[in-house]
Amino acid sequence: MPLAAHDWGRTEYRDALARMRALRGDRRAGRIPDTLLLTEHEPVITVGVGGADPATLPSDLPVVPVERGGLATYHGPGQLVGYAIVDLDARGRDVRRFVHDLEEVVVQAVGAVGVSASRLPGKRGVWVDGSRKIASVGVAVEEWVTFHGFALNVEVDLAEFARFEPCGLPGSVMTSVSRELGRPVEVAEMGAPVRAAWESVFGAPYVRAAAAVAPAPA
């Protein structure tokens, strides 16, 4: 089946989470192809399986525990979130490579608008100059189908990250496409580059015999 990509617009996190989980089941049943879901959330803190001390999190935002890897992070307006629903049976059941490829989608997408970014050895996500984090990555895998994905800071309010330690890091490490380019960038402007990168990176299945390796925390 060909790849698919859908733009959900702005969503409440819990509603999007329920829909994403249902689509994971649809992918396992073969009813849909590998699919990228793009959305922008209302303000929320999500906490992955690494956990977080509630006392360290902002008290005025909803906090939602989820099954993705990693610790706590912020989602809100100005951030493009991509949920990748991918069947790893056709991709060698290689979780590490999947996470690498998901990061590559972001690297290619921001590169298309003029931001040079890369991976940072030993740290998950996508970074600029090895010191500023422009996107977080956290995934879950059930029955060899992935869900959750990446959160790309486009024109998000970076002050929200300074209120706690996103992914266990100082909030000051977070950056955005707008900050790096020195101009306002709408979330909609990143849709086409992300979809093009999704097709480029995941456009053909691969089969690689390798043990599944759980991704490091975001």
Extract the runs of DSSP E, i.e. beta strands, from the chain. 4-11, 35-41, 44-47, 63-65, 72-75, 79-85, 118-120, 123-128, 132-142, 145-153
Question: Is the CB of residue 198 less than 8 Å from the CB of residue 105?
Answer: yes
State residue 204's pLDDT score: 76
- The catalytically annotated residue of 66, 167, 187, 194 is 167
State residue 217's pLDDT score: 40
Average pLDDT over residues 98-114: 97
pLDDT category at 207 given cuts 50, 70, 90 is low
Spell out the domain ranges in the chain. Answer: 4-202
Say which residue, 214 or 36, is predicted with more confidence: 36
CATH of domain 4-202: 3.30.930.10
State residue 83's pLDDT score: 98
167 is catalytic: yes
